[in-house]
Structure 1
Amino acid sequence: MPKLKTRRAAAKRFKRTGSGKFVRRKAFRNHLLDKKKTKRKARLSQKAVVVDADAPNVELMLPYS
């Protein structure tokens, strides 16, 4: 069976945890940061776990993770 290719864009955005779940960055932390509260920016800087409904799609994009 041939080797599968990894989606490089997905490899830069998702990492697998020790328990097998995928983590991702949160949105809205790129620009226009001066109008956002410090507490909100701190929350947005944390990692988030990929929702169970989307995890199979990420799994297909990262076959060897």
Structure 2
Amino acid sequence: MPKMKSHTGMGKRVRVTGKGKIIAEQAGKRHLLEGKSSKVTRRMTGTVVVAKADTKRIKKLLGR
């Protein structure tokens, strides 16, 4: 049986912390920024912990 391949695209988008949490960039800061207030765009900077509902799926893609 061949080895499972990890999803390289997902590996570029997220990283796993030492405790196993998954961290990703905050969504919504790529386009249509003129219509968003500066307060909103500032809030979208940086990284966030991915929702618990998505962690199982993402870990499977990463081969963990």
TM-score range, shorter chain: 0.7 to 0.9
Corresponding residue number in structure 2 for 1:20: 20
Q: 1:39 corresponds to which residue?
A: 39
Partner SS, residue 52 of structure 2: coil
Partner Cα separation in structure 2 for residue 18 and residue 39 of structure 1: 31
4+ residue runs over 3 A deviation = none
Q: Which amino acid aligns with 1:3?
A: K
More strand by share: 2
What is the CA RMSD across the aligned residues, in angstroms? 1.7
Q: Distance in 1 between matches of 2:46 and 2:6?
A: 25
Higher-helix-fraction structure: 2
* Partner SS, residue 27 of structure 2: coil
Distance 2:10 2:32 in 1: 25
Equivalenced residue count is 64
